[in-house]
Amino acid sequence: MRRGSLSRRLRFMLFIVVAVMTVAFIVSTFLIIRKEEQDSAVREAEIRLLGLSGSISSSFESYLELSRLIIMDEDVMCFLRASSGEVGPSEANDAKYGIQAILNVTTGVDSVYIFRKDGIYACTKPKVYTLNDTIFSEDRWPVRVVALSGRPAQYVNGNGALMKINNQPFVSIERAIYDLNNQQLSGYMMMMISKSVLDQDLMAYPEDNICIISRTGNYVTGNRDLVKYYNISLASYECAHQIREEGDERIMVSGMGIKGTSLVLLSVDKMEGTAIPGDTMRIFIFLMAVIVISLTVIGRYITLNITRPIFRLSRAMESGDKDELVPLEEKLPNNEIGLLVEAYNSMVARVKQLIQELLSKEQSVQRAEMRVLQEQIKPHFLYNSIGTISALALENGSEDVSSALETLGRFYRNFLSKGDREITLEKEVAIVRDYLSLQKLRYGDILEDEYDVDEEAGDCIVPKLILQPLVENSIYHGIRQKGEPGVIKISAHIVEGILHLSVYDTGVGMNYETAQEIMSGKKKTTQGVEDSFGLWGTIERVRYYSHIDDVVKIDSKEGEFTKIELVIPAVRRREVS
């Protein structure tokens, strides 16, 4: 049943793959055609715009040079320098003839106006344009042109300052004139260029898909119907392109501003869809057939070499023992499926090994815990405590005896903890306090204990009895062997989610080699005393609890101190579910 389900799913998946690949192929072909249409339209538009822009720029360069020669002409300068009382028709005519002499080398200039600061002007063709002469008094001259300090500016239709008699568009070159002797502003020049100059440049592009407009959208020449497609984003000095939809048609609108002028070239091309050629269609059908046949062969191969062997492998696994993992003896093809069987058998062997190691480690930890309990419950500790309390009764009276017995009872009550394997650090420290209180009854002033435990660390959960064995180790193998009063300090802090527990004593210490042997497990005795189980057993239990090997740090100096630090993840009581 499962095999049939897998086969049906495989066939369904192959069908889906064929369908997806077919759709993807068709969509890709469509997108490629659309992209090629777009790229072709962009290339043609850029060739057209760049060529026309270069031609117009070249034409206007010559007119800019003429304008520079005009403002430097001696007759023009004399006309501008003459005082109001001295200037008359003869000076204006001299300026006019001087300008005409310069313009004889070119065509396309309709007229040239030279304005004095007092509003008097000279003009080469005064009847071609209607002049708004109030604009050209000194305080009304176009601010933008005057601000250019003599550099030329180009405008369409004179920026409203004048209008051609026949309402034909034109381009004006305007510049402020400065006296060559004192560099003072002396006049203003306007050179009107006929649109015929632009028409001549357009003759090289007979298509009816281009026009020239101003940056503000005013028509100059070309196909006037294209002006409606213009927007300011098409006026940059780099070719800009926009694709627009008009009913069922897609059009490419391209624009480019001509540097140094206020003119913008606008080009509009229809993007007509291209049918897929017959050869391309035959190639497409052939590729689809190849894909379908290939996927069918692949599906058959997968069925014979993957799905059926996997079914046999699954059946063999299910036929094994339900309660125990057993290796497979099923004979399968010598390929990846065979490797899978080998990997499964290796996994079974490894799992069994890990289970044995886990059981062994659990037994080791349980023995360690029992050993710690035995160390404290065994008679000699209890006898010593009772003997100390008896001596205390003879010396100090019943009140101190009652306190000592209460401490002993509390110690064993917390020590046993109802069989719990994990307790809070606060309770663990309480066990150590009671333990040291009992030991100080026996050893008197030889012991002094200190505690530096953060409040947040007190809520952490730790394995029971991880501090008491270390404290006992500090007493019997550290301070007592030194033969002088000593200090035992318990510290607990949380740093970046890690609980740092330390037991510090001012005992005999140990050398570096001994500390390394203890941490590596090579040495299970401490300070040369055999069967010092507490330190090594605690390390093993903490490693098992935290699943981390690097849980202990030993810092010691012979004859001075020993500090044993346990480093485990901080798990607070409220975080335990």
Q: What is the DSSP string of 63-92?
A: HHHHHHHHHT-HHHHHHHHS-TTT--HHHH
- Last residue of a domain, which of 274, 304, 331? 274
Residues 272-281: tens digit of each pLDDT: 755 555 666 6
Looking at the DSSP assignment, which residues form a beta bridge with residue 138?
A: none
- Domain extent, residue 144, equals 1-274
Q: What is the mean pLDDT of residues 358-378?
A: 55
Residue 368 pLDDT more than 90? no
pLDDT grade, residue 491 (50/70/90)? Answer: very high
Q: What is the pLDDT of residue 412?
A: 60
- In this structure, the answer to whether residues 217 and 151 fall within a common structural domain is yes
Q: What is the pLDDT of residue 255?
A: 93
- In this structure, the answer to whether residues 214 and 177 fall within a common structural domain is yes
Give me 429's structure tokens.
């420290």
Q: What is the mean pLDDT of residues 193-216?
A: 86
Phi, psi of 552 (to 5 degrees): -130, 140
Residues 271-327: tens digit of each pLDDT: 875 555 566 667 777 877 887 788 777 777 777 766 766 766 676 666 555 556 666
Residue 379 pLDDT more than 50? no
Give me 505's structure tokens.
């004593």
DSSP code per residue over 460-529:
BEEETTSSHHHHHHHIIIIIHHHTS-EEEEEEEEEETTEEEEEEEE-S----HHHHHHHHHTS---BTTB
Q: How many residues does the chain have?
A: 577
- In this structure, the answer to whether residues 178 and 236 fall within a common structural domain is yes
- In this structure, the answer to whether residues 309 and 214 fall within a common structural domain is no
pLDDT grade, residue 202 (50/70/90)? Answer: confident
Number of domains in the chain: 3
Q: What is the mean pLDDT of residues 192-211?
A: 86
- Percentage of the chain beyond pLDDT 70 is 73
- In this structure, the answer to whether residues 154 and 107 fall within a common structural domain is yes
Range name among 182-186, 291-295, 479-483 with the lowest pLDDT average:
291-295
Residues 109-140: tens digit of each pLDDT: 989 999 888 778 889 988 888 877 666 655 55
Element at 54 (helix H, strand E): helix 2-71
Report how far residue 408's alpha carbon sits from residue 45's, in angstroms, rounded to the nearest whole number.
100
Report how far residue 215's alpha carbon sits from residue 196's, in angstroms, rounded to the nearest whole number.
19
Residue 533 pLDDT more than 80? no
pLDDT grade, residue 1 (50/70/90)? Answer: very low
Give the DSSP letter of residue 276: P
- In this structure, the answer to whether residues 220 and 310 fall within a common structural domain is no
The count of other CB atoms within 10 Å of the CB of residue 227 is 15
* Residue 50 forms part of a structural domain: yes
Average predicted confidence (pLDDT) for the chain: 78
CATH code, domain carrying 402: 3.30.565.10
Give the type of residue at 56: I
Residues 50-93: tens digit of each pLDDT: 988 888 888 888 888 898 999 889 999 999 888 877 787 888 88
Q: pTM for this one?
A: 0.47
* Residue 269 forms part of a structural domain: yes
Looking at the DSSP assignment, which residues form a beta bridge with residue 424?
A: 461
* Residue 29 forms part of a structural domain: yes
Report how far residue 456's alpha carbon sits from residue 568's, in angstroms, rounded to the nearest whole number.
15
Contact 411, 508 (CB under 8 A): no
* Residue 173 forms part of a structural domain: yes
Residues whose CB falls within 8 Å of the CB of residue 476, separated by 6 or more in sequence, listed in order: 529, 532
- In this structure, the answer to whether residues 431 and 563 fall within a common structural domain is yes
* Residue 188 forms part of a structural domain: yes
Alpha-carbon distances, residue 251 vs 224, 229, 340 (angstroms): 17, 10, 60
- In this structure, the answer to whether residues 130 and 3 fall within a common structural domain is yes
* Residue 527 forms part of a structural domain: yes
Range name among 25-29, 335-339, 388-392 with the lowest pLDDT average:
388-392
Residue 402 pLDDT more than 60? no
- Last residue of a domain, which of 242, 274, 306? 274
- Last residue of a domain, which of 239, 274, 309? 274
- In this structure, the answer to whether residues 33 and 175 fall within a common structural domain is yes
- In this structure, the answer to whether residues 314 and 392 fall within a common structural domain is no
Q: What is the pLDDT of residue 488?
A: 92
Residue 535 pLDDT more than 90? no
* Residue 359 forms part of a structural domain: no
Q: Pseudo-torsion of CA 96, 100, 102, 106, nearest 10°?
A: 150
CA angle at 294 for the pair 291 and 299, rounded to the nearest 5°:
120
Q: What is the mean pLDDT of residues 386-402?
A: 57
Q: Residue 494 CA to chain centroid, in angstroms? A: 33
Give me 279's structure tokens.
């050869």
- In this structure, the answer to whether residues 204 and 110 fall within a common structural domain is yes
Range name among 177-191, 384-398, 438-452 with the lowest pLDDT average:
384-398
pLDDT grade, residue 329 (50/70/90)? Answer: low
* Residue 371 forms part of a structural domain: no
CATH code, domain carrying 151: 3.30.450.20
Residue 251 pLDDT more than 50? yes
- In this structure, the answer to whether residues 288 and 263 fall within a common structural domain is no
The count of other CB atoms within 10 Å of the CB of residue 262 is 21
